[in-house]
Structure 1
Amino acid sequence: MKQHTVTAHLKYFGELGVTGWSRDPSWRDRGVQASQKPPAVESEASEFTGTECLEAVRSDLGECTRCKLSGLGRQQIVFGVGNPSAELMFVGEAPGRDEDTQGIPFVGRAGQLLTKIIEAIGQSRESVYIANVIKCRPPQNRNPEEDEVETCEPFLFRQIDVIRPRVIVALGAFAAKTLLGSDAPISKLRGREYEYRGAILIPTFHPAYLLRNSKGKREVWEDMKRVRGLLERGP
């Protein structure tokens, strides 16, 4: 790892309040294990694998006009980015202005912070997969509406079924509540592990929230240590 990268990581750890790196593996077993499972959703893409399947899902999505977001100023569909065989997948809410412009998820300020978080646990944007529940930007970045979620989430389910990640991180309340089918606040959902579509799902705060509330960085770091431990533990 290059010196400037190490320095950047140490600076980020300092911002989190981390003063040392524990070698004690017991943290991996802290917290509550949950068996909550959302209803299973049929995958339409089970006959495909890897990149070919993601390309098929993207082709099926097409220049989507299935919901009203397509006619409300959308510039681009933001499908997803990263390793099609990733062990770790991040799922956010919906694209923002920068993402709508570039067609890539998490490229704005929140995305830059997410990149730091990913690198802090020894991963990279190229080694993970990043997507959103909603593929089109809602006007003025409003919360997605129920019919928009119902229309778009089957494509996310297909992405998950193709990639088959070992760990999924749900970024923010909207993604966590949507995936888990829960109305509980993110502060209650985080800190636990959930079985989800063959993976372990870890809810945590959205990077955009951290830009407004730096006190949440400590909790996110605890969640990311849990993620790192799950990946290190092996299948």
Structure 2
Amino acid sequence: MDEQCRNCPALCETRTTVVHGYGDVGADFLFVGERPSPAADEVGVPFAGGGVGGEDGDGGEDDDEDRLGQRLQRILQRLGLCVTGSDPNRPELANVYLTNLTRCRDPERPPTDDEIGTCEPYLNAEIRMINPEILVPVGERALFELATEYTTRPASEFDVADDHATTIRGRGFELVPMVDPRNQTDDQTQAWVEHFAQLMASDYRQTKGRQKR
């Protein structure tokens, strides 16, 4: 992975760090967000929890984006996939790998289609390297991109709110979409945790023809 990537000149001017994937390289579960948060841009770790010890900030724009990492880490802790009390900027993860559609951040806007396409080889390389059982698209944009690549249905047929806390049979992987944790209601969070816990307790490794590592 290129830590000095210059493929998107506009993003090179706004980023602090190129944020590649992070976590357990033997993981069964790979979570994919849209772009690095402010905290991730600073420390180089996707879904970093920010500098507030995992607590919600004061409501500013950067706090809102970092809250995504904070809340996702809490969900992972409930499932036993993240060590409670570990550094929220470099959490201790087990059986989980975290990444994004794009590696760099513009603080003023989401990534363009061209930028996501330019970063796609990095994401594909991570998916091949990890060879997970389950892909978790976090948010609508990630669901659209992963559904385009890994399902046989048109991506326009999927909706992250409708498909939240469900399992979608894909091509080579199963997808378990998640509404952006910042926007989840308590009921949505509970539904996703319960669904994923049931999946973890099942014979999910036998649900598809998985390539050997």
Instruction: Report the TM-score range of the alignment, normalised by the length of the smaller protein.
Output: 0.7 to 0.9
Matched, 1:117 2:86: no
Find the counterpart in structure 1 of residue 176 from structure 2.
202
**Counterpart in the other structure of 2:166:** 192
Deviation at 1:197, TM superposition (A): 5.1
Q: Which amino acid aligns with 2:38?
A: R
C-alpha separation in 2, matches of 1:116 and 1:175: 20
Instruction: Please give the secondary structure, in 2, of the residue aligned with 1:139.
Output: coil
Alignment correspondent of 2:107: 139
Which residue is equivalent to 2:200? 231
Number of the residue aligned with 2:208: none
Q: Percent identity?
A: 29
Q: Could you report, residue by residue, the CA deviation over 1:172-219 in whole angstroms, capped at 9, with x for unpaired residues? A: 111111111223432233243223452211111112323xxxxx2312
The alignment partner of 2:126 has SS state of: helix
**CA separation in 2, counterparts of 1:79 and 1:204?**
21
Structure 2 equivalent of residue 104 of structure 1? 45
Contact 1:121–1:225, Cα closer than 8 Å, also in 2: no
Question: Which amino acid is 2:135 matched to?
Answer: I
Question: What value does the CA root-mean-square deviation take over the aligned residues?
Answer: 1.8
Of the three residues 18, 22, 25, the one matched with 1:84 is 25
The answer to whether the Cα contact below 8 Å between 1:168 and 1:199 also exists between their aligned partners in 2 is: yes
Matched-pair contact (CA < 8 Å) for 2:16–2:42: yes
Q: Is the 8 A contact 1:66 1:151 kept in 2?
A: yes
Question: Whole-Å Cα distance in 2 between the matches of residues 191 and 98 of structure 1?
Answer: 27
Aligned match of 1:167: 134
Indicate if the aligned counterparts of 1:191 and 1:202 stay in contact, CA closer than 8 A: yes
SS of equivalent to 2:80 = coil
> When the two structures are aligned, how many residues end up with a matched partner?
170
C-alpha displacement at 1:224, in angstroms? Answer: 2.6
What are the ranges of 5 or more consecutive residues in structure 2 without an aligned counterpart?
Answer: 49-65, 83-91, 149-154, 206-213
2: CA distance, partners of 1:112 / 1:163:
24
Instruction: Specify the code of the residue in structure 1 equivalent to 2:192.
Output: D
AA matched with 1:203: P
Q: Deviations over 1:25-74 (max 9, x none)?
A: xxxxxxxxxxxxxxxxxxxxxxxxxxxxxxxxx1xx34111123433311
Q: Which residue of 2 aligns with 1:220?
A: 189
Higher helix share: 1
What does the per-residue CA deviation read over 1:77-130, in whole Å, with 9 as the maximum and x for residues that have no partner?
110111000111211110121111111111232211111100111221411111
CA deviation vs aligned residue, 1:124-150 (integer Å, no higher than 9, x gap): 14111111111101232x221110011
Please say which of residues 167-176 and 196-205 is displaced more in the overlay. Answer: 196-205
**Structure 1: 4+ residue segments shifted above 4 A:** none
- Aligned to 1:192, what secondary structure does the other structure show? coil
SS at match of 1:138: coil
Call closer, same or farther: CA 1:187–1:231 in 2, change over 3 Å.
same
